[in-house]
Structure 1
Amino acid sequence: MSTRAGLKDRLHYNETFNCVQCGYCLPVCPTYETMKSEVHSPRGRINLVKMLAEDKVKAEDLREPIEKCLGCRACETACPTSVQYGKILEGAKEVLEFAEQKSRAQKISESLIFNQMFPSKRWMNTIGNLSWFYQKSGLQKMAQRTEITHLAPLHLGKFESVLPDLPSPVERKKRARQFKAIGSRKLTVGFITGCVMDAIFYETNRNTIDLLTKAGAEVLIPVNQTCCGALHAHAGKITDAKALAKRNIEAFEKEEADYIVNNAGGCGATLLEYGELFKGDIEWESRAQAFSNKVRDISQVLSELDGLSFTKEVNGTITFQPSCHMVNVQKVKDEPLSLLKQVKSKGYREMNDKERCCGSAGIYNIVNYEDSMEILDSKMKNVKDTNATIIVTSNPGCLLQMKLGIQREGLEKSVRAVHLVDLLVEAGAVSK
């Protein structure tokens, strides 16, 4: 196979011909809306990928438009010809990753983040424990009072202020690996605890287990599970993403679970596409597809079990900001809303254009902060129009982004953001 043919394969060149340049993707693309540029639209990026495959442009001509893409994949739902934009996007990112000339410092820092930190439970627990100490020791208040947080790189000081309260190291160590269903067992599920979820949103994970057991599911937590690989795949590090996927597949194959449950829209989308990740791999494709066939969002499982009732009224009006990847990739739309509408509250108010990306997109809001904030500001206009006092999300990145949006609008005293799972617990979920 020639180098050019190999490049075309990696870029999924044949897929680009399914794009007829009709423009149906333009109204749903957040970056096209804010950047007003054709190269920052799905069809513009696809055209650039095609031109790179045909040796009409250089890889560097593609880098900025591709890196500015949120990867929300709303374009896929709007496309009349079913263009697989996600596949083309990740192929482009893999090619760009391979082509980039990196300094020794870049290589060392990326190896630390992608190869050591995210795949490691020990690293994630250490981050969670240090964050707990930072919060409880008074260091956080001192840092905020002296405005030292403003010196943090990549605007990380902004996100530090909206982190949830974290549990102590002792609480983390006490968690069991198996939880029996309350009442009769209807299902056995394996739970993907995630890397960032378990480090920073440990309470949400604990509430997820609580809801599942009350609804009638036995919950298993495989010891050897690891990061889903989403960040690696989105960074073009496909080999690393596959290595993590293999670890998860092997870990969950050892459990006799009916479903593999997640509570993070972005992670769920990656897990659901393991089969696609190993397409053509004789050894792994069927195993990966069997894994993906079991993947479910927490809202899907709770809706199917129908084993919960809610005993407390939540003080506020609710609106819902769904995860892009949960809607556009997992195709989960109705189940979260069905659960929300069972909660006793002062009412549910539909947000205009609720399925448009909030600008979080993994680490997009860190590496493309200003662009992300412009998208967030647009989203917050729709939030304010609802006059809701509770913004419910289904993904940790979205949750932090919406908290940041509340802060940017000066609404901290009247509006709060909460994960769907945490709201259901707050609403007094009990077994039927």
Structure 2
Amino acid sequence: MGLEKCVHCGFCLEACPTYVITRSEIHSPRGRILAVKLGIPSEGIETCVFCRRCEAACPSGVEYGESISSVRKADFLKKTIHRILENSNLLYTSLKIAKHSNKGIMYRISKFIPESFPPLISNDKNAQIILFPGCITSVVFRKTVEKAFNYLKKYFTVSIYNGCCGLPHYAEGEKDRALQIAQKLKEEFKGKIVVSLSSNCTAHMKEMGINVYDFSEFLVKYNMPLPKINSEVTVHDPCHANLIGITKYNREVLNRMGIKIKEMEDPSFECGAGGSYFVFQGELSDKIMKVKEEKVKESGANTVISTNPSCSLAMMRYSKVVHIADLL
């Protein structure tokens, strides 16, 4: 799994959000790697947010994400959540039910996701572009989907593909299922231009060999017309998107719009949501969110640009958050 490359140098430590808040070796990439190498149980395996920031910090090129995804095993509850994410209508219904819960994980979910909406449907088999909102975006940020759809529709024929990219499965112990989803998407998207609204989904699909553009990446590479806006924002870099280098397109689009960027310290620092991490690791999640909150507030900007839905949900608790598509 490539773990033999780890020399336990410690460069990963300050990049890891769980180590930053606990100062515990168990909750560090280095500690988790040692547990996997020795084949011993460790609570650190489950407390990993799977942001993979440690990979960017690692001078030895350890493929940490690949290794952790291979040893994690999803229980029945996580598998159930993964199946719900695969079906946008089922996700919408589940979130509506969660809204009326007052205990347990459903209540925790309702505190982060107070509203949900039926997914936007557009099935044009001859469409020039497939818009891929991502599972959460499709039902929680429907207005963003509408904005993106209406913008693209000015220049192209557009269909919408509602579903999951498989990242939650890959990160949370269902790697085989994630690979099945990736293969299905490759077949569905073959020969099509696909534009994704969820940046970490984009990054995951790219890593799975699926040809897809992140929304801002598409705007830049196709030199799409953009409005001029007099505003200032700070920018959050979603972890996986930052790892593969596509967050630069958000800044390029903002610069073309004339929007002033007030950079926060370490903009790719984990938001704290981490897929379903905020559900199952509530205490650690809240502490990570608090660190992120301070970074956002210290930037001095009142608005955060976020192009990943779970990140947006975490930061909406303390700041105004908008997607690039919301600006069009």
TM-score above 0.5: yes
Of the candidates 122, 141, 147, which is equivalent to residue 176 of structure 1? 122
1:339 corresponding residue in structure 2 = 253
Q: 1:158 to 1:87 in 2, by over 3 A?
A: closer
1:229 corresponding residue in structure 2 = 166
Shift of 1:242: 2.6
Report the TM-score, using the length of structure 1 for normalisation: 0.69
- For residues 29-428 of structure 1, the aligned pairs below 5 Å read 29-52=16-39, 57=40, 61-62=41-42, 64-93=43-72, 96-97=73-74, 107=76, 109-110=77-78, 112-115=80-83, 117-127=84-94, 130=96, 151-154=102-105, 157=107, 160-161=110-111, 163=113, 166-167=116-117, 175-178=121-124, 188-214=128-154, 216-222=155-161, 226-253=163-190, 256-257=191-192, 259-274=193-208, 289=209, 292=210, 294-314=211-231, 317-328=232-243, 330-344=244-258, 347-404=260-317, 406=318, 415-422=319-326, 424-425=327-328
Q: 1:251 to 1:397 in 2, by over 3 A?
A: same
CA distance in 1, matches of 2:292, 2:166: 28
Amino acid at match of 2:240: H
**More deviation, 158-167/70-79:** 158-167
Shift of 1:395: 0.4
Describe the superposition over 1:343-400 as per-residue Cα deviations: whole angstroms up to 9, x where unpaired: 355x321101111111111111111111011111111111111221111111000000
CA RMSD, Structure 1 to Structure 2 (Å): 2.7
Shift of 1:110: 4.9
Shift of 1:165: 5.7
- In the comparison of the two structures, how many residue pairs are matched? 328
Rg larger for: 1
What is the DSSP-based 3-state SS (H/G/I as helix, E as strand, rest coil) of the residue aligned with 1:46? Answer: helix
CA distance in 2, matches of 1:305, 1:30: 36
Describe the superposition over 1:320-343 as per-residue Cα deviations: whole angstroms up to 9, x where unpaired: 111101101x32132101112233
Q: Which consecutive unaligned segments of at least 5 residues does structure 2 have? A: none
CA distance in 1, matches of 2:145, 2:182: 21
Report the TM-score, using the length of structure 2 for normalisation: 0.89
Contact 2:234 / 2:262 at 8 angstroms: preserved in 1?
Answer: yes
CA distance in 2, matches of 1:68, 1:110: 14
**More deviation, 263-272/389-398:** 263-272
CA distance in 1, matches of 2:257, 2:281: 36
What is the DSSP-based 3-state SS (H/G/I as helix, E as strand, rest coil) of the residue aligned with 2:274? Answer: coil
CA distance in 2, matches of 1:191, 1:245: 16
Contact 1:74 / 1:324 at 8 angstroms: preserved in 2?
Answer: yes
Contact 1:266 / 1:362 at 8 angstroms: preserved in 2?
Answer: no
CA distance in 2, matches of 1:31, 1:265: 22
Shift of 1:125: 4.5
Contact 2:12 / 2:54 at 8 angstroms: preserved in 1?
Answer: yes
Contact 1:229 / 1:242 at 8 angstroms: preserved in 2?
Answer: yes
CA distance in 2, matches of 1:387, 1:165: 28
Contact 1:124 / 1:198 at 8 angstroms: preserved in 2?
Answer: no
Q: 1:380 to 1:263 in 2, by over 3 A?
A: same
CA distance in 1, matches of 2:160, 2:300: 39
What is the DSSP-based 3-state SS (H/G/I as helix, E as strand, rest coil) of the residue aligned with 1:261? Answer: strand
What is the DSSP-based 3-state SS (H/G/I as helix, E as strand, rest coil) of the residue aligned with 1:417? Answer: strand
CA distance in 1, matches of 2:27, 2:181: 31
CA distance in 1, matches of 2:125, 2:185: 20
State the percentage of identical aligned residues: 28
Amino acid at match of 1:210: N
Shift of 1:36: 0.6
Describe the superposition over 1:30-85 as per-residue Cα deviations: whole angstroms up to 9, x where unpaired: 11111111121112211111111xxxx3xxx23x1011111111111111111111
2:9 corresponding residue in structure 1 = 22
CA distance in 2, matches of 1:164, 1:269: 27
